[in-house]
């Protein structure tokens, strides 16, 4: 056990140092092959990808070409090389059908390296900096390819109308203490505000019809419903009456659990234009509210305290090219649902640019009357670097400045920088580190800095089940001032683990 703890400590310290080096000099290593980000934090990118797939499916098949005139016989051309694709064993293919059969799962054989407790022949660290070789070490070497996920819709079908999809996920977890700025159970000041017990975080269900624009204007919609301890943080708490918001889903609570309707919008699409009208998640920031969109179980301070969660209004996206997308919208302030706090009325916009095969930059901002946040401006900058086949680095910076609606407090000012480093070990395992600095004058009424470093793993047990253990270290030089202002403590080490089952 002592040897195991020593190895874990050394491994964690070394990878944390890697995070700091990459934060200071993200291009220190030459980029290699482009990699698709597996954290799914780009929530809106996934929606756009679905839209592109819908366009391709809806596009009419080209008419068959007329048979060519007879020509003199010639030597046959060489057949093209077959596309490489992964196939399940015949026995597994026999299990697959259009009914309610479970998704096929390949056996854990020699290809996965087995489930031994020793490193492979290459050793734990490969010669290439981008490949640490830890996939040959226990427990990472015990990995079976996840296969295809089981989906509820494969059982029930789509009885109502063509083009409608539905699904969701179940998530539950445990964490050892309140994560700042939460100091008391269920005070709604962080997503981790009900410690030392098993929580049902998000029991999520959605219904969606993608807008298809293959021939003029197409239309679609989406509705999300969530139950759990996270629901009260995703309700329309920015509605009129804040801090005791009224209407919509704000009264759907019982104890620490509740219901929320975080999205309900209609969508129009035509060519390169996509327009959402209604209640939808914000595109700002790197982390998102849905559990399936983040690598970590916990959240950054910036995401919870310096960014909106959702909006009510109109958001249009225009795909100017394969590399540039523009966002243009108007909303009723922050975190509202078909209502507004005071004269909430603000602009929402920005752009995303694929700078090259390995770097993507996204800038989004809100400006105007932000509702419960007051008049002001906020932005998020996210730069995503694909460093190699194994490594990914994300840099995020946030800024929020408003004149607060609370006379006793100063005008709000908060800003921060978040660093994310991810290493893909194999099909089952992924490791990550988040190092964040966040500064605000709204906690102790004085401008103070707050820091956190989080490290953990994602383990994909199968195509539907994801397990995320992590350790989070919080620290501030103003710990006594924080205690005096809030009654809680900031400097702390927290452990958390959750499981997400998608369907």
* CA-angle at 105, arms to 104 and 106, nearest 5°: 120
378 forms bridges with which residues in the sheet?
Answer: 366, 400
CA quadruple 474, 422, 350, 225: dihedral positive or negative?
A: negative
Domains of the chain, by residue range, sit at 43-54+163-502
pLDDT number for residue 99 = 41
Tell whether the model's pLDDT for residue 84 goes beyond 90.
no
Counted residue by residue, the chain has a size of: 503
Contacts of 253 by beta carbon, 8 Å cutoff, 6+ apart: 231, 232, 259
The region of weakest confidence among 35-39, 351-355, 433-437, 456-460 is 35-39
pLDDT number for residue 128 = 60
**Using CA atoms, how far apart are residues 53 and 234, in angstroms rounded to an integer?**
29
Residue 441 corresponds to which tokens in the numbers above? 């004058």
Predicted TM-score (pTM) of this structure: 0.77
337 forms bridges with which residues in the sheet?
Answer: none
Q: What is the four-CA torsion angle of 478, 481, 485, 487, rounded to 10 degrees?
A: 90
Q: 21 — phi, psi (to 5°)?
A: -65, -45
Residue 162 neighbours by CB distance under 10 Å: 6
pLDDT digits (tens, 9 = 90+) for 351-374: 999 999 999 999 999 999 999 999
pLDDT digits (tens, 9 = 90+) for 237-291: 999 988 888 889 988 998 999 999 999 999 999 999 999 999 999 999 999 999 9
SS3 14: helix
Domain 43-54+163-502: CATH class, spelled out: mainly beta
pLDDT digits (tens, 9 = 90+) for 459-488: 999 999 999 999 999 999 999 999 999 999
Q: Half-sphere exposure (CA, 13 Å, Cβ side) for 309?
A: 25
Tell whether the model's pLDDT for residue 146 goes beyond 70.
yes
Tell whether the model's pLDDT for residue 27 goes beyond 80.
no
Give 448-476 as a 3 state SS string.
Answer: EEEEEEEEEEEEECCCCEEEEEEEEEEEC
**Using CA atoms, how far apart are residues 356 and 351, in angstroms rounded to an integer?**
15
Q: What is the mean pLDDT of residues 383-389?
A: 95
Name, of 54-68, 234-248, 301-315, the range with top average pLDDT.
301-315
The DSSP symbol for 18 reads H
**Using CA atoms, how far apart are residues 388 and 316, in angstroms rounded to an integer?**
33
């Amino acid at each position: 056990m002592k040897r195991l703890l020593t190895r874990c400590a050394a491994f964690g310290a070394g990878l944390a140092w890697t995070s700091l080096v990459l934060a200071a000099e993200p291009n220190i290593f030459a980029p290699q092959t482009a990699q698709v980000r597996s954290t799914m934090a780009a929530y809106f990118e996934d929606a756009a990808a679905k839209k592109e797939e819908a366009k391709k499916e809806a596009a009419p098949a080209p008419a068959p070409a007329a048979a060519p005139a007879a020509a003199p016989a010639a030597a046959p051309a060489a057949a093209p090389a077959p596309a490489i694709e992964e196939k399940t064993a015949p026995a597994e293919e026999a299990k697959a059908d259009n009914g309610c059969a479970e998704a096929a799962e390949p056996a854990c054989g020699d290809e996965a390296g087995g489930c031994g407790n020793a490193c492979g022949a290459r050793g734990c660290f490969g010669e290439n900096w981008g490949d640490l070789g830890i996939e040959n070490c226990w427990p990472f070497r015990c990995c079976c390819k996840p296969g295809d996920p089981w989906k509820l819709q494969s059982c029930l079908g789509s009885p109502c109308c063509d083009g409608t999809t539905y699904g969701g996920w179940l998530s539950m977890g445990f964490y050892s203490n309140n994560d700042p700025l939460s100091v008391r159970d269920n005070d709604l000041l962080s997503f981790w505000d009900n410690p030392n017990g098993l929580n049902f975080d998000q029991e999520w269900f959605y219904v969606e019809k993608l807008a298809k624009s293959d021939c003029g204007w197409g239309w679609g919609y989406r509705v999300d419903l969530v139950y759990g301890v996270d629901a009260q943080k995703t309700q329309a708490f920015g509605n009129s009456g804040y801090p005791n918001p009224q209407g919509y889903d704000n009264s759907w609570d019982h104890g620490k659990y509740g219901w929320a309707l975080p999205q309900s919008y209609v969508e129009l699409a035509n060519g390169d234009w996509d327009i959402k009208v209604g209640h939808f998640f914000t595109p700002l920031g790197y982390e998102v509210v849905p559990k399936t969109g983040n690598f970590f179980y916990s959240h950054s301070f910036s995401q919870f305290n310096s960014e909106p969660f959702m909006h009510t209004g109109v958001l249009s996206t225009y795909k100017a090219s394969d590399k540039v997308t523009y966002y243009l919208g108007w909303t009723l302030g922050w975190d509202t649902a078909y209502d507004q706090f005071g004269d909430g009325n603000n602009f929402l916009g920005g752009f995303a640019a694929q700078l090259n095969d390995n770097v993507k930059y996204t800038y989004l901002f809100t400006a105007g009357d932000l509702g419960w946040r007051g008049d002001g401006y906020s932005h998020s900058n996210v730069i995503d670097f694909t460093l190699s086949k194994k490594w990914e680095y994300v840099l995020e910076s946030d800024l929020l400045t408003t004149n607060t609606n609370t006379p006793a407090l100063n005008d709000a000012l908060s800003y921060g920088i978040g660093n994310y480093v991810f290493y893909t070990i194999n099909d089952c395992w992924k490791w990550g580190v988040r190092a964040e600095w966040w500064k605000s004058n709204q906690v102790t009424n004085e401008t103070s800095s707050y820091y956190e470093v989080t490290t953990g793993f994602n383990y994909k047990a199968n195509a539907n089940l994801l397990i995320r253990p992590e350790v989070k270290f919080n620290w501030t030089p103003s710990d006594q001032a924080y205690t005096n202002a809030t009654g809680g403590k900031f400097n702390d080490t927290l452990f958390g683990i959750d499981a997400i089952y998608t369907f």
